[in-house]
Homo-oligomer: A and B are copies of this chain.
């Protein structure tokens, strides 16, 4: 098995690369997986993207993202995201669930709205071969992006549904600080609910807005190998996707960043 057999590059990590260039580079470097985002996919064209990655033999490991259930009036856009995932040939739609409803101050209300929306969306997705992957986001996003802050919360939301329908994303950036996360990973793995495993390192100081400070592997505070071993030990053997939002990386040559990311993965994760 190649060192890169489980490696997947999320396209946002190198968003400066045009999709055909990214796909070519993946083939050249032996990168088998790619994570896609709806907006750049729409820009290139949904069918055109699907054909491009299929012809190159790449696996689409995830589509980001559905969710924002606490602010949207209906689920139409989330059903569209499911349809797009199916067209792209990925089995996993990542959910960023949404923060407090407008004017609200009660996270439990937000969490309840999220549960209701997932209950509506999960059967629709399952009919199309798409699993919903609830991503707990770091607590610093609880107010405005995602009221689901821990793997425990994400698992509690997932548990009413079959594991083939609803699971969780384990993203090191979001959960590394949580002393309860290792037990939650073990439980999620035992239930077959680890639907995606994503990597980013924790670097400080955080940038304004705290969105684009996801660090290159090895640059920060997170023991990447320990996390990979922890997730492996849960029984998960699927893709390991590197998803970095980082202004400094985006300012550099995209091909150079991709090659660096592959090297860092081999050095810090395997």
Interface residues in chain A, defined as those with a beta carbon under 8 Å from any beta carbon in chain B: 100, 105-108, 111, 138-140, 142-144, 149-150, 153, 176-179, 202, 204-210, 220-223, 226
A206 close to B210 (CB less than 8 A): yes
A202 and B107 in contact, given A177-B149, A179-B153 (Cβ under 8 angstroms): no
CB A268 to nearest CB in B, in angstroms, measures 10
Q: How many identical chains are in the complex?
A: 2
- List 17 other contacts, CB 8 Å, given A105-B221, A142-B221, A206-B210: A105-B223, A105-B226, A106-B223, A106-B226, A108-B179, A138-B140, A140-B210, A142-B177, A143-B177, A143-B220, A143-B221, A153-B179, A205-B208, A205-B210, A206-B206, A206-B209, A208-B208
Within the complex, the shortest CB–CB distance from A142 to chain B, in Å, comes to 4
Checking B150, B179, B208 against A206 with a beta-carbon cut-off of 8 angstroms, the contacting residue is B208
CA of A16 to CA of B226, assembled, Å: 46
How close is A188's CB to chain B, nearest CB, in angstroms?
A: 18
Q: By DSSP majority rule, is chain A's interface helix, strand, loop, or mixed? A: loop
- Knowing A143-B220, A153-B179, say if A209 contacts B205 (CB, 8 Å): yes
Report, nearest first, the 4 A-B pairs whose CB atoms are least far apart: A143-B221, A142-B177, A208-B208, A105-B223
Q: Could you tell me if A143 and B179 are in contact, using CB atoms closer than 8 angstroms?
A: no
Nearest neighbor of A104 in chain B, beta-carbon distance: B221
In the bound complex, how far is the Cα of B205 from the Cα of A88, in angstroms? Answer: 34
- Minimum CB–CB distance from A30 to chain B (whole Å) comes to 28
With both beta carbons as reference points, the residue of chain B lying nearest to A224 in the complex is identified as B105
- Please name all residues of chain B whose beta carbon is closer than 8 Å to the beta carbon of A149 when the two chains form the complex: 177-179
Report the minimum CB–CB distance from A236 to chain B (whole Å).
Answer: 21
